[in-house]
Structure 1
Amino acid sequence: MPVSDPASPTSDIRITSIAQLTRNGSWRLTGLHDRNEDLLLWVTKGQGLATLQGIRRGVGAHNAFYIPAGTLFSMDLGRTGFGIAVRIPHDPSLALVDTPLLLRVRDVHAQSELTGLLDNLQRELDHAAPYLEEAARAHVALLSVWMRRQALAIYGTEEPATTAGQRLVEAFCALVAREFRTGKTMADFAAMLGVTPTHLSRACREHTGMTAADVLTKRSLYEARLLIETTELPLKEISETLGFGSPAYFSRFVLQHTGTSPTDLRKAAAKLRKG
């Protein structure tokens, strides 16, 4: 079994505030997107709305969201919201929960227990002692146990029961996360799921407040902004990467949904980073 170098303690596991996830723009959290890392969000203040794998949820204090890599989600806590984010490189060997979870933690002991687990992980990361990575992974394993215990306490099972409509929307969102760069239309996704576009849109509207086409549009828009504002890739290349028919169509798409051209978005982002 490989052993890490104790002389160079590092860990890819990170703890930040939720606000830090919105650095360089609130859209980084409020926009519908997925990540290539697992994410645990512990909301301690504020109220708002979240969408988790296509299911719209209210957000309040003492809510914990577990968001596995590849899960479509968004969250808007408003200006007064606050919480902690644990960013965990996706690794099946960590034995984390493999489905999205919303845990509304009302038990004061359970709240304190999670706070203690997060404090212990933060101290480990700050101390950077030898074998940090092994220690950090052990702390994450304890967080996983806490989540599974809370799911059992709240839902009576590790995976909350869902309706047929919810399962359809979740399956659609999982497909969108994997396939949105291909240029497939909403009707293509409906065909892949074996339902009509009308039925898919009806289910999406019921559970997300958006049509299926809106879900696809918002995911594509997020990626467009991410590539425009955080890379130097030519706009033509971004257009091709996201499956747009032409750079002109891509520019119109971005302008229509943001009110700003891709070029101006890039300039504004560069100015924000320098300032």
Structure 2
Amino acid sequence: MSLPSINVTTLAQLSGSQEWRLALAHDCAAHLVIWITRGQGRILLNGTRRGVGTHNAIFIPPKTLFSMELGRQSMGLVAVIPDGTQVRLPNDPRQLRIRDGSAISELNALFDAAGRESTSALPLAQDALDAHIALMSVWLRRQITLPEHLPLKMNAAARLSAAFGQRITEFHHTGQSMADHASALNVTPTHLTRACKAATGRTAADLLTERVLYAARVALVETDAPMQDVARHLGFGSAAYFTRFIQQHTAQTPSALRAAAQA
């Protein structure tokens, strides 16, 4: 089976100008290389929440829980690289604050060239795009080796929060409660909640709710699946319970969300 093509886009296009697509905790099936070109905000990544700003390069592997809250004037570029690609990429999520002018110019040039090829009708455009993304990966892996970009040691709360995030990405559709996840991680629900709150500013229940809500909204706006099928797929006991969940967190019914997206 062939892989999807590599895509280079903007943060606004990635989110479809729908704030929830970035603001809710979620994960992607592809590798993401995000380059913030203007503005600032906050990012949840690898179990912690921290500031993000201009000339931050962010690498997010598949099945990594993350969210971004950026100011209205913020802008960024994104390379979406399908999992299973031949391009060599880092193994772990990273946020790099780039201060060297030549490194900034180099990544800007790589994104510009990749962006042109992604919209080009020229022969071998995909081959050229693959080559530019391979060079982008080299840039990223070189930056990671620099002393100023060595990862900070994670404290116990951050490690537990990251482990919980990994479980959420794998099991959010099973209907497991926060207490179920805590039990699987061999901690009490209270301890898990405190750790997540300390590391991310969100409780464990908040993170789980956001991931389920994200999956629900994607299913509602991108598919025509009946409500009861969406509810069952996400581990809800009934379509009525699913409807109450959506109304509680969006102030709209599932049908209204779907209709608004179609309109």
- If the TM-score is normalised by the length of the shorter chain, which range does it land in? over 0.9
State how 1:1-275 maps to structure 2 within 5 Å.
12-23=5-16, 25-91=18-84, 93-155=86-148, 157=150, 159-271=151-263
Partner of 1:7: none
Cα RMSD for the two superposed structures:
1.9
C-alpha distance after superposition, 1:149-193 (max 9, x if no partner): 222225454x54322321211111011001000111111111211
For 1:212, the aligned partner's letter is A
Deviant stretches of 4+, over 6 Å: none
CA separation of 1:160/1:148 partners in 2, compared to 1, >3 Å: closer, same or farther?
Answer: farther
Amino acid of the residue matched to residue 215 of structure 1? L
- Relative distance call for 1:257 and 1:11 in structure 2 (3 A) is closer
Could you tell me how far apart the structure 1 residues matched to 2:26 and 2:210 are? 8
Structure 1: tracts of 5 or more residues without a match: 5-9
Aligned residues of 1:49 and 1:77 also touching (Cα < 8 A):
yes
1:79 offset after TM fit, Å?
A: 1.3
Deviations 1:116-147 (A, max 9, x none): 11122223334444444443333222212211
Match for 1:87: what amino acid? Answer: V
Deviation string 1:204-254 (CA, Å, 9 cap, x unpaired) is 000111111111001001111111112110000000000011111110000
Structure 1 contact 24–269 (Cα < 8 Å) conserved: no
Per the alignment, in what secondary structure is the counterpart of residue 90 of structure 1? coil
3-state SS of paired residue (1:195): coil
- Percent identity (aligned): 46
Secondary structure at the aligned position of 1:117 is classed as: helix
Q: Distance in 2 between matches of 1:118 and 1:234?
A: 40
Name the CA shift for 1:131/1:269 in 2 (closer, same or farther; >3 Å).
Answer: same
Deviates more, 1:249-258 or 1:184-193: 184-193
Where does the alignment leave 5 or more consecutive residues of structure 2 unmatched? none
Structure 1 127/249 Cα, relative in aligned 2: closer, same or farther at 3 Å? Answer: closer
